Structure 1
Amino acid sequence: MRLTDLLSPSSSSRSASRVVLAVAARYPPPTAPTLSLIFQIFVPRPSSPSLYPQVQRRLAVLQPAPPRLGPTHKVVFVITWIEDPAASRHSRRGSGGGKGRRNAASLLSACLPACLPSIARGDGVCGSRERDPLLHRRLGQWRLLSWSAVLPWAVALAALLLFFEQLSYLRKKGPLPGSTLVVPLLGSAVPMILNPTGYWRRLGEAAATRGLCADYLMGRFIVFLRSADLSHSVFSNVRPDAFQVIGHPFGRKLFGDHNLIYMFGQEHKDLRRRIAPNFTPKALATYLDLQQTIILSHIRKWIEMCESSPSPSSMPLRLLCRDMNLETSQTARRAFNVDYNLFNVGLMAVPFDLPGFAFRRARLAVHRLVSTLAGCVAESKRRMRSPATEPSCLVDFWMQETVREIAEAEQADGPPPPQSSDQEIGGHIFDFLFASQDASTSSLLWAVALLESHPEVLVRVRAEVSSLWSPAEDGTWPAITAEMMRGMRYTEAVVREVIRFRPPATLVPHIAAEDVPLPAAGYTVPKGAIVFPSLLEASFQDRFSEERQEDRLHKKNFLAFGAGAHQCVGQRYAVNHLVLFVTIFVSLVDFRRHRTDGCDEITYVPTIVPRDDCRVFLARRCKRYPDF
């Protein structure tokens, strides 16, 4: 009899019950007549048991992936066991049946992954739609037996991994204050996301005695630093074999490896040298004209919004200040705002880089933001190639020098200078936005909130400003000059105190590239730990006082702009911008907070802002607006 004859359906075989034949090549049957399956094949039962050996011999020559043999039959390479119904009854009567079934179930436990497609389908038949009750029942039993055998081992393995996780945390923690036991894998991620203000406050309290404490966050061991001395130890040791700035625990995924904060050595020095012309006194004086025009136009809009309301109503300033700092064309502003919102939300979300999650949306938004900024760079390069065009903004000053270097390289038939492509510069400008835009918005809000809550300071600021900048007899206002700004000593002291008392970026995470000792604390930060120097805790949050002059009398504690090689390159620009805003705002606007319980408490967005987004009532204070 040919193999195809056995496999071809016939009128007599269609009604016959189906069994599985196999090749007993490697696993001999434990108890006859149980069949050992190597190539599992579904065929009609042969009319005579004597045909079984013949079918086995013929199936032995098949390859592991044989072709389809007929319209309703298919060979599948599966290792499994099955019993003939008659043999099953015989085995139950015999003494060896139980052992045979146990051996069969044991083999199926090892081979269950190969059987899963048939089990999931539920009919146990490949190619045919007939349901074999015996096969279906046996496969179901073997599935349960396999899970019951695997489950205890899986539980034991999970318990062992969790034990080693706790042991690793305790070993790294050493004598530091902090949680004794941590939630597996997540650590303190849930309370940090639900209430970041409370979470970081608790770490600050835990670090009060030794200046630092430990915790566990999303599978990473972290060290929180409260002491200014310890923070300086981190900032002054940013190098490949010590601490490395990361900006965000998962910042490399968001910003890319070529971000400014990840650079070291000569490459980092060269880029800072290229950026330096943007913050010279000449450049800062040039920015004043554009900055005061933008600030004035937005303040006028805010007042008009309040005056157009039928009844007095307060308005939150956070988004309004952010839009002022992101002044661009209308089309670019809408797209930029959408993407920047996605980016900010992703910074505070669980870092699951999967479709549909906020972190993935933030990462994709960064690429779009960089592309938008690269377009701005290309436009600035085009304008700066004209000798008659003077730079008017930060990007123009940067491109003025870059265009000159590109032209020199082209004349010498050399490669373009490093870090000069539109995309690269667009990425660096986004770095500035991440470091400064939200930080600037935060400082503007806290300046308004703290001036309103300290009326005696507000009176002195207004007196100093009016002595240097006030309307002429005909009601016109002069433009604010760099000379006027240099004379506003008290206003600048207030601004620096705002930055000290409420540093916008309260945490600057670093990662330990190696085991790094902190002698002042008697502790060695283990390799891979994320260290969080807290600028908020280091600045002694006892009170707001413009006369402290912490930045001059106690420079060690004034860490709002960082320290060391990665100290903020644009800090003079940030202070000037805040002084200019305060000057215009207090001169043109009467403002009053809409006070509610907890309105001055800190909220992370991710920089810190008042919990109510600085909701205020605004009214026009001057008879005539300046006309710059």
Structure 2
Amino acid sequence: MVACFSFLFPLAPFFVTFLFLILFLEQISYLCKKRNVPGPNIVLPFLGNAISLVTKPTRFWEVQADLATSLGFSVNYIIGCFIVFIRSTELSHYIFANVRPDAFLLVGHPFGKKLFGEHNMIYMFGQDHKDLRRQIAPNFTPRALSTYTALQQIIILQHLKSWERLSSESPGKPISLRLLARDMNLETSQTVFVGRYLSHEARDKFRDDYNLFNTGLMKLPFDLPGFAFRNARLAVERLVETLGDCATQSKKRMSEGDEPSCLIDFWMQETVREIAESKMAPPHSSNVEIGSYLFDFLFAAQDASTSSLLWAVTLLDSHPDVLRRVREEVSRIWSSESDTLISAEQLREMKYTQAVAREVIRYRPPATLVPHIAMKDFPLTESYTIPKGTIVFPSVYESSFQGFTEADRFEPERFLEDRQEEVIFKRNYLAFGAGPHQCVGQRYALNHLVLFIAMFVTVLDFKRHRTEGCDEIMYCPTICPKDGCRVSLSRRCSRYPNLSLN
């Protein structure tokens, strides 16, 4: 055996030298891209600073933000990828405004195209993207949103009841809201988006597949049997197929003249009308494509909304004056004992509660970073050009703390009519993005948060169980309180509203 490999021994110095040469060239390549921009001068081979990003992500991005103070951006190196972190609001707008084939593509997730599939709004641009946004516009009209608010409230109320029961079963022992809120949001999304077209059995399978997807989202992209990423990719394929089948059922109902009862109905009603007028289907209207776009909506509504609900509870608990004002406003407009839903008009009257929702999203924007990839060398400033292939991270979080009066304070009053900071500092409010890919469902998301706050504080009393570091930011993948928002709950109203989906 020794004799068989003895011929390799003289080659060992060559291999060592070759390895050191590769590592040296990698370091030189990084420094050439970095130039004089703030960032680490020496990085680990291939891994770069991936270890610190994975083990302490909050601290990693805080360091990047500190480094970016002088120029408005900084650089780093992660798993073979050169990255640019954008702190400056104006530079972030510059990136958002240049999403096109010869500048930047929105990637959403480093391995998103493989995970989400080809038919995904994130990866669309130009006329195709404009056409699709035009087609989905009927999904978010005032009439459609009014339909959704009724569904949202009933699902929210059902889950608040179950949370209170769960808490009462273990008196003195707090419950974590993170997974509970995620389950509530998943059921809300299923009901609002595809309504009656998912059976109870299909909903259970849907939930299991979405959990597989959620797990794989934060794992390394090993597309091999048994690995979480492979399970997530296959789960997405099944979810898209299920949602595409819902679109088929909806087309049939809408072609028969039925009234829309969920988001897919409003979408298919318009699609059926276009087909009747032009005798051909509009672009991007195959069942697979519609299923994929519905999954985009689901993903956008799910984790971001969960993040905002958790931070709302956290911040209301730590700001009792804000909580008191919300309860006073809601009680003047809606009674939990009236057995009626909050109407669209009543929702508009809740000015302070809406201000609280907007401030929650500003203070803790769910998706703190919006990754893009540079498709070619792109001049970011007069003195620095982003190299082709760079992953660029405009920071929504950093922009949220720029411009606003005493931005480090949680202060809903900034969004009331006498201050109107959402108008004055509109460019810094980037939680819903900007440019051609700005979130089309932002009104729906805000309504959901306002409705949740109004019903949660009205029907329940809650006490946060605070521990050291419980309010620190945790990435999962959107940001949440580190402890998952652990609370004790008890019923505040004399009885729950008698409301149901039937």
Q: CA deviation at 1:142?
A: 4.8
Give a deviation string over 1:375-425, Cα, whole Å, max 9, x none. 2222322332321x211221221121122333445xx3x4x3221122110
Q: Distance in 2 between matches of 1:224 and 1:177?
A: 10
Moved over 3 A (4+): 406-409
1:342 to 202, 206, 212: 212
Matched, 1:455 2:320: yes
* Distance in 2 separating the partners of 1:478 and 1:141: 84
Partner SS state of residue 240, structure 2: helix
1:369 correspondence with 2:239: yes
Match of 1:503 in 2: 365
What is the CA–CA distance in structure 2 between the aligned matches of 1:606 and 1:300, rounded to whole Å?
27
1:426 aligns with 2:297: no
1:180 aligns with 2:41: yes
Q: Which residue of 2 aligns with 1:544?
A: 410
Matched to 1:303, the amino acid is E
Match of 1:406 in 2: 275
Contact kept in structure 2, 1:225 and 1:534, CA below 8 Å: yes
Equivalent residue, structure 1, for 2:134: 273
Residue 395 of structure 1 is aligned with which of 264, 281, 299?
A: 264
1:57 alignment partner in structure 2 = none
Q: Is the 8 A contact 1:326 1:333 kept in 2?
A: no
Residue in structure 1 matched with residue 354 of structure 2 by the alignment: 492
- Any idea what SS the aligned residue of 2:45 has? coil
**Counterpart of 1:624?**
495
1:616 alignment partner, SS class: strand
- Map of 1:314 onto structure 2: 174
Counterparts of 1:434 and 1:216, CA distance in 2:
28
Over residues 349-397 of structure 1, what are the superposed CA-to-partner deviations in whole Å (9 max), with x where a residue is unaligned?
A: 222333333222222222122122222222322332321x211221221
Alignment of 1:164 with 2:51, yes or no, is: no
TM-score, normalization: structure 2? 0.92
Alignment of 1:277-288 (within 5 A): 277-288=138-149
- Say which structure, 1 or 2, has more relative contact order (CA 8 Å, 6+ apart): 2
Residues 1:468 and 2:328 aligned together: no
Q: 2:238 and 2:91 mapped to 1: Cα distance?
A: 38
Q: 3-state SS of the aligned residue for 2:412?
A: coil
The one-letter code of the counterpart of 2:294 is I
What is the Cα deviation at residue 513 of structure 1?
Answer: 0.7
Mapping of residues 234-253 of structure 1, within 5 Å:
234-253=95-114
Cross-structure match for 2:195: none
Any gaps of 5 or more consecutive residues in structure 2?
191-198, 402-406, 416-420
Aligned equivalent of 2:456, options 579, 582, 585? 585
Aligned position for 1:333? 203
Return the letter of the residue paired with 1:404.
R
| TM-score, with length taken from structure 1 | 0.74
Q: Counterparts of 2:301 and 2:397 in 1: how far apart (Å)?
A: 17
- SS of 1:618's partner is strand
SS of 2:379 mapped into structure 1? strand
| 1:554 equivalent in structure 2 | 425
Structure 2 partner of 1:203: 64
Instruction: Kindly provide the CA deviation profile for residues 443-499 of structure 1, in whole angstroms up to 9, marking residues without a partner as x.
Output: 11111111111000011111111111125xxx4333211100111111111100000
Contact persistence 1:193–1:349 (CA under 8 A): no
Aligned length: 479
> Helix, strand or coil: the match of 2:487?
strand
Distance of 1:210 and 1:345 partners within structure 2:
36
SS at match of 1:466: helix
Residue 244 of structure 1 deviates from its aligned partner by 1.0
The more displaced of 150-159 and 612-621 is 150-159
8 Å contact 1:516–1:527 — kept in the other structure?
Answer: yes
Indicate the structure with greater helix content: 2
Percent identical residues = 61
Instruction: Give the secondary-structure state (helix, strand or coil) at the position aligned to 2:273.
Output: helix
Residues in 2 aligned to 1:422 and 1:257: alpha-carbon distance in whole angstroms: 14
Change beyond 3 A, Cα 1:355–1:151: farther
Matched, 1:299 2:160: yes
Instruction: Please provide the CA RMSD for this pair.
Output: 1.7
